[in-house]
Amino acid sequence: MTHLDGRESGATDPNAPVRRSVLTLRGALKTFGPVVALADGTIDLVAGEIHALVGENGAGKSTLVKILAGVHQPDAGEFSVDGQAVSFRNVADSKAAGISVIYQEPTLFPDLTVAENIFIGRQPKGRFGLISRAEMRRRAKDLFDQLGVPIDPDRVAEGLSIADQQIIEIAKAISLDARVLVMDEPTAALSGVEVERLFAVARRLRDAGSGILFISHRFDEVFGLCDRITVMRDGTYIATHETPAMTVEAIVREMVGRDIDALFPKSETERGDVVLRVSGLTRPGVFHDIDFEVRAGEIVALSGLVGAGRTEVARAVFGIDRYESGTVEMLGQKLRSKDPRASIDAGIGFVPEDRRKQGLVMELSVERNAALTLRHSLAKFGLISTRAEREAAETWGKRLQVKSSSPEHPVSTLSGGNQQKVVLAKWLATDPKLLIIDEPTRGIDVGTKSEVHRLISELAGRGIAILMISSELPEVLGMADRVLVMREGRITGRLDRSEATAETVMHAATAALESSR
Amino acid sequence: MSDPTGSGTIVHPDGEPSETAAKGRRMTASPGSTRPGTEKRQKPGRRGAADTSTVLAVPKGRTGAARILLGRDAVMIYVLLVVVLYACIVIPRFASPVTVGFLLLDVIPTLLIALPMTLVIISGEIDLSVASIAGLTSALMGVLWQGGMPIALVLVICVLAGLVAGAFNGVLIAYLGLPSLAVTIGTLALFRGLALVVIGDNAVANFPPGLTAFFTSKIGGTGIPTVMVGVVVLIVAFAIVLHFTPFGRGLFALGYSKEAATFVGIDVARSKFLLYLATGTVSALAGIYWTLRYSSARSDNASGLELAVIAAVLLGGVSIFGGKGSIPGVLAGVLLIGTINYALKLDRVSEVVLIIVTGSLLIISVVAPNVAAAIKQARHSRRVRSAPLP
């Protein structure tokens, strides 16, 4: 536990006297091959404050966190902890310097008890050098008392909620004397009550003098919890503000850095016939009574919080997962449940959310990946040739401006944006009538991002029906003709382009707002 | 770097993280690769993402035979050629039709089973029950023949038995999702046990002399066994399936990532099931060959063969983790082990040494690519670190 020299924690008070920096990072640069993940990573964390780090996806927040955690080593920049210049070679160095990172989903050892997890690798020893369970239990209990959270130190970690697992990670951090606690989107998977409990813990730690860096996409949390806000955009530090002086609008403006209309080149298109009609689609416990249709030339966005069931619906429509009842019709033809091949033949393309695991076979060459969806149509008399694959890959690679040094190199050597283009290329090559795109620009550098947006608009202009899932609100508002909002497995809002605003979408997406209506 | 358009954050051709960074740099620097044509296609308002870099497929990649002859899998082929040449020169009596004949007769069971095994391992699975299926087939063959069944019918039933054994593996692995290592360790014992139940401690040897003679006969004076014709047909068939069909493409993909394969419409379960049918059937053929070549049906025929097959397949460049490998490479692997064994035998080297040599070869073949990759990686990262930052 951190004990500061008698100083009161006054970060909430704008007139707080001395502010001692516990962690300072200036101008950190980090590149991965051709991609600059972080151009100017700058953060100044003082003792006794909760400091929010906000930015769009791909703004470089995660890279910055990984530098703090010692996972990545910056290529340039200044980094100091407690005024001492540091350079971490690995995670252990960072831990030793008093930095603890709590990730969205902690990884505990499921078969060990809570206390064992906290003291793993440094168990208190008793007589004869054996582990003293009583001592370990007592210390774990102390930690939880300190945090004001009742968790039984003797239970095994398996089956604990994510919220409890995070608390255990925090307890572990305290036991390590961590002065800096970094929470990387800790609330993404938590319920309302759990979020409140986590915040209570965070405030206690702040008042005890720790510096807490809090990364979140949720503005209500940022404004409700944090003392200061640092904004990042495109891998670059933009500004740091005192929270009371800011509004959500001002922060969003800084995060986006430009007019959303200019960012998303949305062209008006003719809406054609219904391409996809989904009715009564239900998988108990996951999604219920999903009804919607997508017309030719239309971009329909499926919005909602992470975990609302958006991806699950898309997977069921495409045939990756089974559904219990309801129907999926493509151009009037009913599709079979759990048969992706039939969906592809019916004209559906699916760009999945996890490019590295689902969208591409990372070890295979660019051309093999690009031609994988075409393997049946390219075959002559049942035989497929490398030449045919290469020609197809070249055609689409050129059209989408895929940058690679050779089509024979593994697709893993490309940058994220170019990988995503390969995924798009392989589906466009099948001449789809409907393209389902799950998180079209996740983890893509900003330049390529707008290229992808332009491409999606163009495709809709050419009459392809597009069902887009996105967690980025600006993307949803900027791209979609219609927005369907999901919450807890149901569609809770259907908004036209004219009705869709950040407010109306968030209204439909969050239960709290819904009930207050 | 705070350019708000982000154009500064994208592509630096020099930083290409590929293994042939030097090559890539040379290509992007050449005047022909700027490709003004492709730039004209860009819209006026488009940011210059592609301006400084090559667009896909500027360098023409290799295709067809060149790809195989220059590829990673070819190493074993060259090693095989060197060993054969060396043996021809150094070991007396090696370069003769008799050598060819015996070498091939010895190697055929391994060669046969290695074909479907290659596909299985590329798809990320394994089948340890192959030799037991061959043994079971052999036992069945002996009993049925002794029971007075016409030989043609016996052969058909034996092949079907292999198919059923493969289907049993396949259902457990592909459709019930059990790990193939565990399942086939189980069936390795199970099928061998069944063989013992079927034929007991007996041996059946009185197969039709015409048939057994055919299985050891040679084509003219070449020394090449007549049955090689059938084996070659199978080799070609498996090579085509693996390297030139959509199904084969799917196997490589699912060997690397079953999830990604599912997302392009590859039926993972069905593909795996078919592979186990193939290993079962081909193992039965190997069992039949074994029985007729040695004119002896016993329950312990071909025992231990599974390890020889897997060793040869791995030696031939197939990755035990799936996704990588080729039929030509595996042929070279099988023949390499066969040749070394035969040459050493001719040289009157004891059996123990043969086993040690085979084992060492296998370890070297598995370790060598890793060492090569590590060296490449070390060189690459040194170069990256010394290069100026963008």
pLDDT tens digits, residue range B206-238?
Answer: 999 999 999 988 888 788 899 999 999 999 999
pLDDT-above-90 percentage for chain A: 37
Best mutation target, A264, A318, A339, A363, to test chain B (most B CBs within 10 A):
A363
Residue A407 has pLDDT above 60, yes or no: yes
Q: For every residue of B267-322, which 3-state class applies, written as one string?
A: CHHHHHHHHHHHHHHHHHHHHHHHHHHCCCECCCCCCCHHHHHHHHHHHCCCCCCC
Task: Decide if A355 is inside a domain.
Answer: no
Q: Do A487 and A436 belong together in one domain?
A: yes
Q: Do A45 and A146 belong together in one domain?
A: no
Across A320-325, average pLDDT: 92
Q: Which domain holds residue A453?
A: 261-347+432-515
Q: Is the separation of the CB atoms in A100 and A180 below 8 Å?
A: yes
What's the pLDDT score for residue A110?
87
Please report the ipTM that was assigned to this predicted complex: 0.73
Task: Decide if A509 is inside a domain.
Answer: yes
**Alpha carbon distance A422, A416 (integer Å):** 10
What's the pLDDT score for residue B157?
97
> pLDDT of A82-104, one tens digit each?
888 999 998 889 988 999 998 87
Mean pLDDT lowest for which of A39-53, A63-77, A444-458, A492-506? A444-458
What's the pLDDT score for residue A262?
52
Is any Cβ of chain A less than 8 angstroms from the Cβ of B326? no
Question: Could you say which of B5, B23, B55 has the minimum Cβ distance to residue A402?
Answer: B55
What's the pLDDT score for residue B283?
97
Task: Decide if A6 is inside a domain.
Answer: no
Query: Which residue is closest to A27 within chain B, CA to CA?
Result: B1
Hey, CA dihedral for A92, A94, A99, A103, is it positive or negative? negative
Question: Could you say which of A236, A367, A402 has the minimum Cβ distance to residue B1?
Answer: A236
Q: Do A140 and A116 belong together in one domain?
A: yes
Across B300-311, average pLDDT: 91
CATH number, residue A276 = 3.40.50.300
Is any Cβ of chain A less than 8 angstroms from the Cβ of B372? no
Is any Cβ of chain B less than 8 angstroms from the Cβ of A450? yes
Q: Which of A159, A194, A221 is the last residue of a domain?
A: A159
Answer with the residue of higher pLDDT: B377 or A345.
A345
Task: Decide if A186 is inside a domain.
Answer: yes
The model's confidence at residue A12, banded by pLDDT at 50, 70 and 90, is very low
Best mutation target, B3, B9, B376, to test chain A (most A CBs within 10 A):
B9
SS3 of A435, please?
Answer: strand
* Min Cα separation B7/chain A (Å): 6
Q: Which of A403, A431, A459 is the last residue of a domain?
A: A431
Mean pLDDT lowest for which of A2-16, B123-137, B190-204, B267-281? A2-16
Across A120-129, average pLDDT: 82
Chain B residues touching A340 at Cβ < 8 A: 262-265
Q: Do A452 and A338 belong together in one domain?
A: yes
Best mutation target, A232, A376, A405, to test chain B (most B CBs within 10 A):
A405
**Alpha carbon distance A274, B34 (integer Å):** 43
Answer with the residue of higher pLDDT: A263 or A396.
A396
Is any Cβ of chain B less than 8 angstroms from the Cβ of A446? yes
Question: Could you say which of A258, A384, A403 has the minimum Cβ distance to residue B11?
Answer: A403
Chain A residues touching B42 at Cβ < 8 A: 401
- Ranked by mean pLDDT, the top range of A205-214, A347-356, B20-29, B184-193 is B184-193
**Token pair in block for residue B179:** 């790990």
Mean pLDDT lowest for which of A11-20, B87-96, B278-287? A11-20
Answer with the residue of higher pLDDT: A274 or A471.
A274
Give me the phi and psi of A308, to 5 degrees please. -80, -10
Is any Cβ of chain A less than 8 angstroms from the Cβ of B246? yes
Task: Decide if A239 is inside a domain.
Answer: yes
Q: B residues 258-287 near A, CB within 8 Å?
A: 259-267
Residue B265 has pLDDT above 60, yes or no: yes
> pLDDT of A151-207, one tens digit each?
899 999 888 888 888 889 888 888 888 889 999 888 876 777 788 888 988 998 899
Q: Do A120 and A266 belong together in one domain?
A: no
Q: Which of A393, A414, A431 is the last residue of a domain?
A: A431
Across B152-158, average pLDDT: 96
Q: Do A196 and A333 belong together in one domain?
A: no
Residue B384 has pLDDT above 70, yes or no: no
Question: Could you say which of B9, B27, B260 has the minimum Cβ distance to residue A445?
Answer: B9
Residue B385 has pLDDT above 90, yes or no: no
Answer with the residue of higher pLDDT: B95 or A118.
A118
Query: Which residue is closest to B250 within chain A, CA to CA?
Result: A372
What's the pLDDT score for residue B9?
31
* Min Cα separation A305/chain B (Å): 24
Question: Could you say which of B8, B18, B57 has the minimum Cβ distance to residue A394?
Answer: B57
Q: For strand A299-304 and strand A482-487, is the pairing parallel, antiparallel, or unpaired?
A: parallel
What's the pLDDT score for residue B178?
96
C-alpha A302: how far from its chain's center? Answer: 16
What's the pLDDT score for residue B65?
57
Task: Decide if A173 is inside a domain.
Answer: no
Residue B383 has pLDDT above 90, yes or no: no
What's the pLDDT score for residue B172?
97
Chain A residues touching B250 at Cβ < 8 A: 375
Q: Do A461 and A487 belong together in one domain?
A: yes
Q: Do A365 and A416 belong together in one domain?
A: yes
Residue B243 has pLDDT above 60, yes or no: yes
Task: Decide if A352 is inside a domain.
Answer: no
Across B260-283, average pLDDT: 95
Q: Write the CA distances from A502 to A7, A129, A219, A442, B212, integer angstroms.
A: 41, 60, 12, 19, 82
pTM for the whole thing? 0.73
Residue B246 has pLDDT above 90, yes or no: yes
CB contact under 8 A, A34 and B16: yes
Is any Cβ of chain A less than 8 angstroms from the Cβ of B16? yes
Residue B16 has pLDDT above 70, yes or no: no
What's the pLDDT score for residue B71?
60
Q: Do A450 and A309 belong together in one domain?
A: yes
Task: Decide if A353 is inside a domain.
Answer: no
**Alpha carbon distance B124, B323 (integer Å):** 7
CB contact under 8 A, A451 and B46: yes
Residue B57 has pLDDT above 50, yes or no: no
Q: Do A90 and A131 belong together in one domain?
A: no
| Residue A431 zone, left/alpha/beta (φ > 0; ψ -120 to 50; rest) | left
**Alpha carbon distance A484, A304 (integer Å):** 8
Give me the number of domains chain A comprises.
4
CB contact under 8 A, A382 and B245: yes
CB contact under 8 A, A405 and B6: no
Question: Could you say which of B27, B49, B250 has the minimum Cβ distance to residue A447?
Answer: B49
What's the pLDDT score for residue B64?
53
Chain A residues touching B257 at Cβ < 8 A: 357, 361-362
Residue B40 has pLDDT above 60, yes or no: no
Residue B47 has pLDDT above 80, yes or no: no
Q: Do A454 and A305 belong together in one domain?
A: yes
**Alpha carbon distance B7, A446 (integer Å):** 8
* Min Cα separation A391/chain B (Å): 9
A221: number of Cβ within 10 Å: 18
Domains of chain B: 10-61 (no CATH), 64-374 (1.10.3470)
Answer with the residue of higher pLDDT: A509 or A395.
A395
CB within 8 Å of A119: residues ≥ 6 apart: A136, A139, A140, A175
pLDDT-above-90 percentage for chain B: 52
What's the pLDDT score for residue B38?
36
The model's confidence at residue A442, banded by pLDDT at 50, 70 and 90, is confident
Chain A residues touching B68 at Cβ < 8 A: none
Q: Do A367 and A390 belong together in one domain?
A: yes
What's the pLDDT score for residue A228?
94
Query: Which residue is closest to B11 within chain A, CA to CA?
Result: A34
What's the pLDDT score for residue A319?
93
Question: Could you say which of A390, A402, A447 has the minimum Cβ distance to residue B6?
Answer: A447
Across A463-467, average pLDDT: 94
